[in-house]
Amino acid sequence: MDIIFLWAEVLVRWLHVVAGIAWIGSSFYFIALDYSLNDKNKLPPKAFGEAWQVHGGGFYHLVKYLVAPKNLPDELTWFKWEAYTTWISGFFLLILVYYSHSQLYLIDTFKLEINEFQAICISLFGIVVGWVIYDFICRSRIGENTVTLSAVVYVFIVLCAYFYSEIFSGRGAFTQLGVMIGTIMVANVAMVIIPGQKKVVNALIKGNKPDPIHGIRAKQRSLHNNYLTLPVIFIMLGGHYPILFSTKYSWLLIAFVIVIGGLIRHFFNSHHAKKGSPWWTWILSFIIVLIMIYITNLGKPSKTDDLKLTELSKSLNQEILASAMETTSIHCTMCHASNPQWHGMKTPPKGIVLETSEDILENIDIIMQQAVWSNAMPPGNITWMEFGERKSIENLYLEV
């Protein structure tokens, strides 16, 4: 059964990435298209702007109507399935990886003593409530001012990041926030943008004047999706890098990443709109990245964390712990050490050190992934780690 679950994870992750590329690609394309429209030439009645483009050996003449022309075509292309497929595949991936292994990926007993069922319930509740609160904010009077709304939504997301970092493991908190933001973005499409557009189309077919609120809300939510895309990608990728999610201030990194994403999108939006290229956004983004690097070092595990791990190591079966440590000392520490002994290696891969029992316990989930659930480590099994040795790591993992 294990191989079936692994293949399911691979295929669902593949679908998730492909669907995400399609969704982001179409989203970024239409944002660029909107900003590049011009009205210099004579346009058809009720047309807002036009653009000429060249691609694949052909020329395209695109005309945008804020409200549909008098005679609608029989067929309309709706850009929605890319978003839906991204969320559906992402949710299945959440189940396959994080919910089915919640003890490993979601729960951190040093932060909160909860069981797997409770962790999953908290996660699902947070995803739903995150959308409900966000949607309420947008529909309230706060949503009438773009700047105020952006600030309030930003504060809300950062507060969620801090809240989850205090409940879940570092990786679990990153993933939870990424799923929450991704759900907000897809719900914007499924519950606001597309329904609003359908109401406009139905009104036009009946010969009625469409309610302008649908266009206003769609533009508002599209703008949010535009500025949230880059941060959510970073957050989802960040869940694979301990240097990001294992710091005590991981929530603060997310706060900075949202700012960086906004700066980068501002640059491209301004560029496409022919309002100049604000290069200062890249300089400021670089400065913020340097601050983030400093924060990751500032938030590394403290002496208190080491004491907790020391207490845990003392409470474990010492034979099982010693056996696992012997395995890692033979096959891992020549690279994963403060001063690696492997030729040409100056720093431990991904900053992971496996020299003490505390190191082993802190990284037991990663060791399990790389050396037990797969044979990724040692690379090419160059040190010939045998089945029994891999089993010693699994025994420690089960003991913990």
Contact 285, 260 (CB under 8 A): yes
Give per-residue pLDDT as tens, 206-242: 777 777 788 888 888 988 998 999 999 999 888 887 7
Distances (CA, A) of 109 to 241, 302, 304, 308, 311: 21, 17, 15, 11, 13
Give per-residue pLDDT as tens, 359-382: 888 888 788 877 887 666 787 667
- Cis bond before residue 379 (omega within 30° of 0): no
Q: How many beta carbons lie within 10 A of that of residue 314, not counting itself?
A: 10
d(CA 125, CA 105): 18
Give per-residue pLDDT as tens, 109-167: 778 888 889 999 999 999 999 999 999 999 999 988 989 999 999 999 999 999 999 99
Give per-residue pLDDT as tens, 197-211: 888 778 877 777 777
The residue that leads in pLDDT, 312 or 391, is 391
345: exposed, middle or buried (C-beta count within 10 Å: 0-12, 13-18, 19+)? middle
Show Cβ contacts of residue 233 under 8 Å, excluding neighbours closer than 6 positions: 20, 24
Is 265 a residue whose pLDDT tops 80? yes
Distances (CA, A) of 338 to 10, 209, 304, 351: 33, 70, 20, 9
d(CA 342, CA 154): 45
Q: Residue 92 has what pLDDT?
A: 93
Residue 374 is which amino acid? S
Percent helix, percent strand, percent coil in the chain, to nearest 5: 70, 5, 25
Total residues belonging to the chain: 400
CA-wise closest residue to 325 among 227, 400, 382, 396: 396
Q: Residue 33 has what pLDDT?
A: 83
Is 1 a residue whose pLDDT tops 80? no
